[in-house]
Chain A
Amino acid sequence: MSASLLKIDNLRTYFYSRSKRAFIRSVDGVSLAINRGETLGIVGESGCGKSVTALSVMGLITATPGVITGRIDFANGTLHRNLLDGLDQSVRLSEEEGRIMDVVKDSGAWQRQSDRLQRGVRGGEIAMIFQNPKASMNPFEPVGAQIVEAVRLHTEHTGKKEAEQRALHWLERVRIDSPRLRFHNHPYGLSGGMCQRAMIAMALAAEPSLLIADEPTTGLDATIQSKIVDLLAELKAEIGITTLLISHDMGVIGRLADRVAVMYGGRVVEEGGAQQVLAGGEGNHPYTRALIASIPGAAEVRQKSYLQAIEGDVLDTINIPAGCRFYERCNRVTEAVRERCADCEPQLFDAGSGQRVRCWLFAP
């Protein structure tokens, strides 16, 4: 029996572009596992599918066709559930040349089934915080009331007074200043950083087993970002909450994550321990390496040298090439693997000490 709290297996979430008559393959076969107590960071640029993965876990994808394959096993000791149970009965696929070209899905039935499966899980066992805190909270209700709502819904503290106590406790825990005052503030009366803290309080007040944080620091000021990261590190040390952290900011991921998965073009291209993956050297996927190299380092800044940019544009997940998705932009292709890179998509190869890389250079 594994200790994984959440196990995503072969998840595919597609959208459909009517104007192009083609699928937008946002998540194209992603498998991840998060163990209890650990923080898994997902790193990637726009369009790689990291946010869509999180939304698929929460059953929040409503656009069509949406989730079409996969298993999401959630097991927190008392509750064992496949959040995509019965998906295959609502979906029929057909492939051509190994690629899914035709999808028939009963969205209505699946939506109902998904809502049934998510009951008790969404918000209660798995809580999510979003990128733009002001836009994600109810602008008409005071912040305290929203936290109280979460407490009453998802914990055993259903009494109003009790719930308010708990809400205040959580506001204090997230180190918001003057918690009693902020309890009655509306989201627009709070700064970005405070709003984000309030959202974290709201998520944790439900006492979830898993916290999904989708770009929690993006959009905040530099000084506030480091504060929020401090807060998350503190909470991690104190409560030991299992976290799925999504960000494009390598610094934040490096500070908070135990294990890291790098996504590109809707697939996981590398995963392993945080130190290993973020080393950005020989032992990493060429994309990871190039990404880390393109961030201006202290030396480059001081010498005002040119940055090491990755040529080309990020993959748009509609036009998926045959072969490795990063091949076009890869600068580490050798003659030995060139043919395979161009024709055949590699699988995740074992690179030692728990690290796996999706690259022909790492094939045994």
Chain B
Amino acid sequence: MKRFRQRPGEISEFSDLPLWQKADTIDLLYVGYGLLIVSLVVASYLLGALQWLPHDPNALNLNLLLAGPGTPGHLLGTDFMGRDLLTRLVLGIQAYFLPGLMAVASALFGGTVLGVVAGYRGGGAGLIVTFLGNLIDSFPRLVLILLVIAAFKPDIWYIMAVIGISNVPAVASLVQGKIAMLREKNFIEAAVALGLPTRTIIAKHILWYNCKALLIIQATLGMAEAILMETSLSYLGFGVQEPTPSWGNMVQSGANYFLQGNLWPSTAPALAILFTILGFHLLGDGLNNLLEGKRGR
């Protein structure tokens, strides 16, 4: 049974209710949660950068090995070397935050430039871009990362560079598709006919008004992927190395003690990974629905 109610009285002339009234509740929840996670991450990054931490991340406390959560002085307990987990978790964000941003920024920048060239110029340029895109996509990403690690060193920045570049084709094709759609709607032709200069058409009409949502969403998804990659590689030992904390290598080091019944040192970072990536994904999904107005209507 579904109920439809018309608001008595004047019907608003604008079909432009504020976003939070028009949207589905679930989308608002997604975005709310996502924004919460993002703010926690940013806050933690700043705390870490400014070294405003409850404890020294490398301070060993051999008396308090593998303490559980709630131990006085250590909100989330300690790991197998007596180091405070909470501090290490907060610091772990350093491992992926800036590098992840770099990956996202390079993917967006490269993808936008190539997408615009391919979409606006079309023809030969479009073919070249598509070919390059297919080429990059055909490379097994993990193999490429491992190659880079072997060739240089297991540096998270190099890894993120690879991830950024390998995401360029996806963004480029999205932008290219958007431009194709706009072209279909006589949009671009009308703007040219008016006499708008090309740079205005691209920057204002195509990118700002039409690609903004797309790019924001790609940013959130890109960040989620960066975190996933970083933590996975660190877990495997290829990313951030001990003693620098990374959620991935924290899970790794705690794993040895897992079977002995000390669940927390492994579980805490694992949960952090889960909830954070979930936050970015839901943010992307929710924003997608909100900005593109896909649900309900």
Contacts and interface: CB of A to CB of B under 8 A. Distances in A.
B8 interface: yes
Nearest to A16: B4
A23 B3 CA distance: 12
Given A19-B15, A319-B11, A104 B2 contact: yes
Interface in B182-239: none
Q: Which of A21, A101, A105, A318 has most B Cβ within 10 Å? A: A21
B11 A19 contact: no
Nearest to B16: A19
Given A17-B15, A22-B11, A64 B2 contact: yes
B121 interface: no
A101 B6 CA distance: 5
Interface in A266-281: none
B9 to A, nearest CB: 10
Contacts of B6: 21-23, 101-102
Contacts of B5: 21, 101-103
Most buried by B among A14, A16, A96: A16
A65 B11 contact: no
B293 to A, nearest CB: 9
B259 interface: no
Interface string A16-40: 1111111100000000000000000
A107 B12 CA distance: 27
Contacts of A23: 4, 6
Contacts of A102: 3-6
A106 interface: yes
Contact of B8 (A19, A64, A96, A106): A96
A103 B1 CA distance: 10
A18 B22 contact: yes
Nearest to A96: B8
Contacts of B12: 20
B294 interface: no
Contacts of B11: 20-22, 318-319
A105 B8 contact: no
B100 to A, nearest CB: 36
Nearest to B17: A19
A107 B3 CA distance: 10
Main secondary structure of the interface of B (DSSP, over half): loop
Interface in B148-186: none
Interface in B1-55: 1-8, 11-12, 15-17, 22
Interface in A63-104: 64-65, 96, 101-104
A84 B239 CA distance: 67
B296 interface: yes
Given A96-B8, A101-B8, A318-B11, A19 B297 contact: yes
Interface residues of B, number: 16
Contacts of A319: 11
A22 B22 contact: no
Nearest to B3: A104
Contacts of A105: 1-2, 4
A21 B5 CA distance: 7
Contacts of A16: 4
Contacts of A104: 1-4
B7 A21 contact: yes
Contacts of A107: 2
Interface string A318-333: 1100000000000000
Nearest to B12: A20
A141 B113 CA distance: 41
A107 B2 CA distance: 7
A300 B5 CA distance: 48
A19 B17 CA distance: 6
B85 to A, nearest CB: 47
A106 B1 contact: yes
Interface in A300-341: 318-319
B17 to A, nearest CB: 6
Contacts of B15: 17, 19-20
A65 to B, nearest CB: 5
Q: Which of A18, A102, A103, A318 has the most CB of B within 10 A?
A: A18
Nearest to A91: B1
Residue of A64, A96, A102 with highest tally of chain B CB at under 10 A: A102
A172 B226 CA distance: 64
A104 B12 CA distance: 23
Contacts of B22: 18-19
B2 A18 contact: no
Contacts of A21: 5-7, 11, 17
9 contacts: A18-B22, A18-B296, A20-B11, A20-B12, A21-B7, A102-B4, A104-B1, A105-B4, A106-B1
Interface of A: 14, 16-23, 64-65, 96, 101-107, 318-319
Given A96-B8, A101-B6, 12 more contacts: A18-B297, A19-B16, A19-B297, A20-B12, A22-B6, A22-B7, A22-B11, A23-B4, A64-B2, A101-B5, A104-B3, A318-B11
* Closest CB pairs A-B (n = 10): A19-B15, A21-B7, A103-B4, A22-B11, A101-B6, A16-B4, A104-B3, A22-B6, A106-B1, A23-B6
